[in-house]
Amino acid sequence: MARSAVIRQSLGGAVLIATHVILTKPLRRRRTTWGATATEAAAALPGDELIPHPAWRYTHAVTVDAPPEVVWPWIVQLGQGRGGFYSYVGLENLIGCRVRNTDKVLRDYQNLDTGDEVRLHPKAPPLTVASVEPNARLVLHARDPRTGDASIWAFHLLRDQAGRTRLIERGCSSCGPGLVSRLFFGPLLMEPIGFVMSRKMLLTIRALASAAGTEAARPRPPRRGFVPRRIDLGRRRECG
């Protein structure tokens, strides 16, 4: 992406964040349930049990015009030093994330196992893969026993009746009593900031995966191979 486009996007993202910080209370319901139905927002999802009493949580969702197996590669490669976060890269790098957002499926980052680490920032403690089921679910978890801070970041892929994907993002956090914990794990700042970044991420994943699904469904022209010349053996010329 051109530098000018990155700057424009970053300014737009900064304005959105400022708006949500200023209008925290009236916009909170929209932030915490953006794109999700009432049933999805209230549903218990795998990974919720890791933080049974969160200080706050959110459920975001989009419908992707592609099956889960096409959406999954974009989810599994999320992370700093991996495929990036498909969000406002200028804002992420402003705080030292050193992220590069890809617009391609990266074969080197298509496998995650329980216990693997995914980083958000090169200097921040990583998230740990708590649960993973290809084409269906990825749950990332972090807990600091010293402070009581804990969070989950989860993605659930559900196939609808039309064969498309309902992509649900669920986040939960709890925080300790300290000021730093309340700022970085409480809803005051992290909720509006996280919403703006997550919304951009989900919309980008939807666009990338939908385009990939369309390309995969496009009929391929027949391959042009060697066609042997037909020889009529019944019309051999006789030799005297």
Q: What is the pTM assigned to this prediction?
A: 0.84
Taking residues 196-213, what's their average pLDDT? 95
Non-local (6+) Cβ contacts of 72 within 8 A are: 134, 135, 136, 157
Please indicate, yes or no, if residue 109 is contained in any of the structural domains: yes
Q: Which residues pair with residue 231 across a beta bridge?
A: none
Could you report the per-residue pLDDT of 38-92, keeping only the tens digit for each?
Answer: 999 999 999 999 999 888 899 999 999 999 999 999 999 999 999 999 999 999 9
pLDDT at 148 over 80: no
Taking residues 99-124, what's their average pLDDT? 95
The pLDDT score that the predictor gives to residue 24 is 72
160-185 burial, b at 16+ Cβ within 10 Å, e below that, comes to eeeebbbbbbbbbbbbbeeeebbebb
Please indicate, yes or no, if residue 224 is contained in any of the structural domains: no
Q: How far is Cα 142 from Cα 117, in angstroms, rounded to an integer?
A: 10
Please indicate, yes or no, if residue 220 is contained in any of the structural domains: no
Please indicate, yes or no, if residue 19 is contained in any of the structural domains: yes
Please indicate, yes or no, if residue 239 is contained in any of the structural domains: no
Residue-range definition of the domain harbouring residue 111: 3-215
Non-local (6+) Cβ contacts of 66 within 8 A are: 164, 165, 209, 210, 212, 213, 214, 216
**Which CATH number belongs to the domain containing residue 124 in this structure?**
3.30.530.20
Please indicate, yes or no, if residue 233 is contained in any of the structural domains: no
Q: How far is Cα 120 from Cα 145, in angstroms, rounded to an integer?
A: 19
Please indicate, yes or no, if residue 225 is contained in any of the structural domains: no
- Total domains, the chain: 1
Please indicate, yes or no, if residue 234 is contained in any of the structural domains: no
Non-local (6+) Cβ contacts of 28 within 8 A are: 187, 191
pLDDT-based confidence at 238, cuts 50/70/90? very low
pLDDT at 211 over 50: yes
